[in-house]
């Protein structure tokens, strides 16, 4: 148990930043859920839109990645 308050703050901050990933989880779930809701109503059109779904997932996930980035920066760069 050694270290200083700055390190402690960095670790706590990294943990808090990880909470942002929950937002990404909500976003990705929202995208896929809405895709599935639409796909079950019109299954014939679903196959053509899977790529769009993955692009939507990627953009929703990007903001969760920034929270991960903040956590990494606090852990290793600050």
Partner 1 sequence: MATDVNGAAEQSGGLVFHPMDQFIIKPLFGDGAVGMFTVTNITLWMAITVLATIALLVLGSSGRSTIPGRMQSIAELAYGFIRKMVEDVAGRDALPYFPYIMTIFMFVVMANFVGLLPGAFTSTSHIGVTAVLAMLVFISVTAIGFIKHGAGFLSLFWISAAPLPLRPILALIEVISYFVRPVSHSIRLAGNMMAGHAVMKVFAAFAPMIIISTGIGLVVTPLSILAIAAIYALEILVAFIQAYVFTILTCVYLKDALHPAH
- Least distance (Å) from partner 1 to the CB of residue 15? 15
Residues 22-51, one symbol each (x = binds partner 1 by CB under 8 A, - = not), give --------------------------x--x
The residue written with tokens 């059109």 in the block is 45
Q: Is 55 in the site for partner 1 (CB under 8 A)?
A: yes
Alpha-carbon distance of 52 to 59, in angstroms, equals 11
What is the maximum alpha-carbon separation in the chain?
61
The residues near 20 (Cβ < 8 Å, ≥ 6 apart) are 63, 64, 66, 67, 68, 70
- Least distance (Å) from partner 1 to the CB of residue 2? 9
The binding site for partner 1 (CB under 8 A) comprises 48, 51, 54-55, 57-58, 61-62, 65-66, 68-69, 75-76
């Amino acid at each position: 148990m050694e270290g200083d308050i700055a390190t402690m703050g960095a670790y706590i901050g990294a943990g808090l930043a990880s909470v942002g990933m929950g937002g990404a989880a909500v976003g990705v779930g929202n995208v896929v859920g809405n895709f599935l809701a639409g796909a079950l109503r019109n299954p014939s059109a679903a196959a053509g839109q899977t790529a769009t779904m993955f692009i939507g997932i990627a953009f929703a996930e990007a903001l969760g990645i920034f929270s991960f980035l903040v956590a990494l920066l606090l852990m290793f760069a600050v």
